[in-house]
Structure 1
Amino acid sequence: MRAGAARTRQRGISFIGLLFVGVVLACVGVVAAQLVPTVIEYQAIKKAAQRATAGTTVPEVRSLFDRAQAIDDFSAISGKDLEVQKQGDKMVVSFAYDKQIHLAGPAWLLMKYAGRTD
């Protein structure tokens, strides 16, 4: 076989392609590293709202939520931001809030979180 014929059969990624894939993966990793804490905070808020449904009045529900907020240490919303309704014999807590993640320059990623206890 000639040397030129052997090279045409080689397959794989070039160095430039490898650099491109590395940069794309790094960018995705940076965004994911900023996104994960907001998802964890959402789960803590949802858990606090679920705990707050043990209250029997709207001020008591908000107070229970604020206590859970102090324990779980989140700051996106507080008890006054909750929408509390009584359906039948149980309290239903709804909430919604936005989180913004700065990407680069004028680019932002807006995350809209909403939840409801049932």
Structure 2
Amino acid sequence: MNMKQRGISFIGVLFVVGVLAFAGVIAAQVFPTLIEFQAITKAASKAKEGASVPEVRSIFDKAAQIDDIKSISGKDLEITKEGEKTVVAFAYNKEIHIGGPAYLLLKYTGRSK
């Protein structure tokens, strides 16, 4: 009886575990930026209720202080009118250091609803 072994080798298991660990580390660093993006979107939606540009920026800055938003401030907002509605738009970049000279660049853009 000549039985052939089937399955993955120990080196294969180490490789798969290494790739999953690397992906987990990157995901753990990206997740807080996604939470911050949601907080920024919520603050922009709240800020659009302001009557003037300085008031919109002030409302955003107050919400940013409460939600601990550090990536963007009220002065970085683009505030426009579309008909009778105020629209608050924003864009910013986040860099995540991977190792050595390598960085992961995340570009976030959004606007109030």
User: What value does the CA root-mean-square deviation take over the aligned residues?
Assistant: 0.8
Q: Which residue of 2 aligns with 1:111?
A: 106
Structure-2-length-normalised TM-score: 0.97
Report Cα offsets for 1:39-85 as digits up to 9, x if no partner.
11001000000000111111110010001001101100000000001
Give unmatched runs, 5+ long, in structure 2: none
Counterpart of 2:7, as a letter, is G
Structure 1 match to 2:59: 64
Map 1:5-84; keep pairs closer than 5 Å: 5-6=2-3, 8=4, 10-84=5-79
Aligned equivalents of 1:104 and 1:74: distance in 2?
A: 25
Which amino acid in the other structure matches residue 47 of structure 1? K
Shift, 1:35, TM fit? 0.4
2:93 maps to: 98
Amino acid at match of 2:66: I
Q: What one-letter code is carried by the residue in structure 2 that aligns with 1:68?
A: A
SS in 1 for 2:49: coil
Runs of 5+ consecutive residues of structure 1 not aligned to the other structure: none
Q: CA deviation at 1:90?
A: 1.5
Question: 1:117 offset after TM fit, Å?
Answer: 1.7
Report the AA paired with residue 66 of structure 1: D
Deviation >2 Å, runs of 4+: none
Amino acid in structure 2 at the alignment position of 1:41: E
**Greater Cα radius of gyration, structure 1 or 2:** 1
